[in-house]
């Protein structure tokens, strides 16, 4: 499984403390787009990929400031470096350019 599922605020906090890699949070509702899993595998060397179903975890919407799904948020050393809301192909390419 390319993304690690996040289920609590403690897990959110722990994920953001990952050092030496980018941290990608994929916020979704229901199902994960197969393209998202492809990207998680493609950038596994530089990125720790996580996913959170915001329909099950309302607190995650506020925590990651998600207003539209799917949303991808990329962090480095605990700081947000990129957010792509309502991710489309262009948004994924922008995220990919950071993770490469």
The average pLDDT across 8-30 equals: 94
Higher pLDDT, 2 or 71: 71
**Interval 53-81: pLDDT, tens:** 999 998 999 999 999 999 999 999 999 99
- Name the residue ranges covered by the structural domains of the chain: 4-99
Of 83, 63, 74, nearest to 22 (Cα)?
74
Helix axes 89-99, 34-42, angle to 10 degrees: 10
Question: Whole-prediction pTM value?
Answer: 0.92
Mention the CATH class of domain 4-99. alpha beta
Which residues have CB under 8 Å from 24's CB, separation 6+?
40, 43, 47, 48, 49, 50, 72, 73, 74, 75, 95, 99
Residue 1: pLDDT band (50, 70, 90) is low
């Amino acid at each position: 499984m390319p993304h690690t599922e996040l289920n609590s605020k403690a897990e959110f906090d722990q994920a953001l403390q990952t050092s030496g890699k980018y941290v990608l949070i994929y916020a979704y509702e229901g199902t994960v787009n197969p393209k998202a899993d492809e990207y998680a595998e493609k950038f596994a060397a530089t990125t720790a990929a996580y996913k959170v179903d915001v329909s099950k975890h309302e607190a995650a919407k506020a925590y990651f400031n998600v207003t539209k799904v799917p949303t991808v948020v990329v962090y480095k050393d605990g700081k947000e470096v990129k957010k792509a809301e309502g991710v489309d192909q262009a948004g994924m390419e922008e995220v990919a350019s950071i993770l490469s």
